[in-house]
Amino acid sequence: MSQPDQEHIEPPGTEAEMTPRADHGEESYRGCDKLTGRVAVITGGDSIGRAVAIAYAREGADVLISYLSEAEDADARETARHVEAAGRRCVRVPGDIAEAAQCRAIVDRAVAEFGRIDILVNNAAFQRTYQSLDEVPDEEWEYTFRTNITAMFRLAQAAVPHMRPGSSIINTTSIQSDKPAPMLLAYAATKGAVSNFTAGLAQMLGGKGIRVNAVAPGPIWTPLIPSTMPDEKVKSFGEDTPLGRPGQPRELAGIYVLLASDEGSYMTGGIHAVTGGTPLL
């Protein structure tokens, strides 16, 4: 895949503005009832969140997706369309997970609509790029942490009382947790925290029969890339991986399904790399 025609787009960016469009498994993912009758809460209604929602629905799960604002409503509606085409329910909840009340509202809505939560996918994230330390605004540093890691804590804290043994929490970390790029200083720092949070929470919740894992993507083609990265980085995005290309959101769906399903029943506390071959040690 290449991005020869991609121009910078205003953050957070939308799927419709991407050239080429990302592949979320709309045409390729085939389910086989691995999540029949389960309820999943997924933060992020586009890109990786869309790929996970499509896969979960085709595996038999009902889904609640949360997303930031009306600017992302079209992407969230498109995700819901694919979930409903699979014969499953999709509840859409807009709002900023950087706010504590919104995290509680997401969980409350899921419980009101479905009666329980079986899978919590903490996926939504915020990033910006800066070339020097003094360019990073105080408020943006704090917002990045509130969105990328504090919200995971708040969502898990609210959701766990409604989760039964066999339930699963899956956090999206990043290769940046292990190989931080200086221009992504705040984002990379939060992803290091996500990996540590995952390992600790897995130990805390093991006695309840709730598994906690993280997925660490490498360079995945999502709206965050053309909306937050310099043009020259976008043009060569993913070329430095052993596979020589960026990944598509659909290429992450399988690991999220495995970690949510009974086939991953002895997997907890792990950080699972999907990086195109770049090692995560």
3-state SS assignment for residue 228:
helix
Q: Looking at residue 4, what is its pLDDT?
A: 42
Instruction: Render pLDDT for 127-153 as a digit per residue (tens, 0 to 9).
Output: 999 999 999 999 999 999 999 999 999
Q: Looking at residue 2, what is its pLDDT?
A: 47
Classify domain 32-274 at the CATH topology level: Rossmann fold (3.40.50)
Higher per-residue confidence, 15 vs 40: 40
Say if residue 223's pLDDT is above 80.
Answer: no
Whether 130 sits among the annotated catalytic residues: the reply is: no
6-27 average pLDDT score: 76
Q: Which of these, 198, 192, 152, 194, lies nearest to 41 by C-alpha position?
A: 152
86-102 average pLDDT score: 97
Q: Looking at residue 21, what is its pLDDT?
A: 80
Q: Please give the C-alpha separations between residue 111 and each of 54, 62, 239, 256, in angstroms, as whole numbers.
A: 21, 12, 43, 22
Catalytic residue among 29, 56, 187, 256: 187
Say if residue 228's pLDDT is above 80.
Answer: no
Structure pTM? 0.93
Q: Looking at residue 6, what is its pLDDT?
A: 64
The Cα–Cα gap between 95 and 101 comes to 10
162-186 average pLDDT score: 97
Q: Looking at residue 70, what is its pLDDT?
A: 73
Say if residue 8's pLDDT is above 90.
Answer: no
Say if residue 28's pLDDT is above 50.
Answer: yes
- How many other CB atoms are there within 10 angstroms of residue 93's CB atom? 21
Residue extents of the structural domains in the chain: 32-274
